[in-house]
Chains A and B, each alone.
Chain A
C-alpha cells in the first residue's frame, strides 16, 4: 500500500512543520472543541424549552446532529483545507507544481496537509455517541454496527464530494471559497434538526440536489423510525452508502474536468 505509506510520510512532515508553532497548534484544538460544545449546549437549550421537535427528543436530535458532525470532521480533516487553499493555488499559479509530479493531483493536494484541529470534533462526537446511543436504546448488535459503519463511510463520502465539487469551482470562478463556505456552513446548518420539520422544497433540495440528508436524517431514521420515516420513500433509509459512492464519482469527474480546464497564470 504505497498510497498509504506516502500519505503517512507527508503527514509526519506536515505535523512537524505545524509543531514549529506549538502554541497555535494547541490553541486551535482547544477552540474547536469549545465552539462545538457550545453548539450542543444550544440544542439542549432549545429542546429543554420545547421538550421535543416533532417527536424527536434531546438525545435523538443529539444523535442526529452527531452523525453529521462525526462524518464532517473526518472528511474535513482530509479534504476541507486543501479545497480552501485550492483557490489561492489556482490564482497564483502554484497549482503548476502539482501537475508536474508523478502522483494524482487530487491525492497530492490532499496529502500535503492534514487538519489536526478536527481531532477536537471527532473526540467530542465520540463522547456524544457514547452518551446518546444508550439513552436512545439502540441495540448494539452486529447488524446495527455494520449498518452504522456503512452510514459513516457513506456520510464521509458525501461530505468529501461536496467539498471537492465546491473546491473545484476555483478552476472556473475567481471567488469560489464563498461557495465552499456556503456549502459547508450555511446549508449544512439545516442538518442540525430533522429535515422533516422543513418545507417540502428544502427537503427535496437536501435529498436530491445536495444530498446532505443522507448524512444524518435517513441513517437516523433507520435506527430510530421516527415521524417522517417514509419521507419520499422508505427505502431511502438504506441509501447513504450508494449515494456516497455516486457523489464521490461525480465529484472526481468534476474535479478532473476542472484540472483540464486549468489555465495557469502569466509569467
Chain B
C-alpha cells in the first residue's frame, strides 16, 4: 500500500506543474490538488500505471467553495461573484488497496473540468449530477444533460450556495 505522499511524488515527477500541491492540513484526508484541464490525462495514468492501478472511482463530488465576493442585490438577497467550484475524486485500487483523494478547482463564472467518463464508466452519471447541481461543465463528456432536475429547469443550479428557488414551475407554486 502506498501513502498519499508517495503517490504525490510519482504524480509530481510525471506531470510537473499540472499537479499543484499535497494538502495534509485537513485532519482526516490528504488531498492532492490538480489542474482542471489535465484531469483526464492524470486519471488515465492513475488507472493504468502498474504500481497504482486505481481501478475504482468511488465517488465524484461537486463542491461550492463559497469563497467568492458576496454582492447584495436590490431585492435584499445576495449573490456570489467570483470564487471557485471544486470537484473531488475519491479513488481506490481494489487490487492493491491504495486510496487517494484528488481535488480540482475551477472558476465560478465559467467552470470547466475535463471529463473522466472514458476512464471510469460510472463517472458518466456522477458528472451529469455535478453539472445538474453546480453547473460544472465537463469537457468532452458524451451526454452532458441534467439528470435529477427536469430538463427544462431554468432557475439555475440548486446546490450552489446562492441558489434562489423560483416562485412557479409550469403553473405549480413551488414554495410552501
Check if A and B associate.
no
Which residues of B are at the interface with A, using a C-beta cutoff of 8 A?
A: none
Interface residues of A (CB under 8 A from B): none
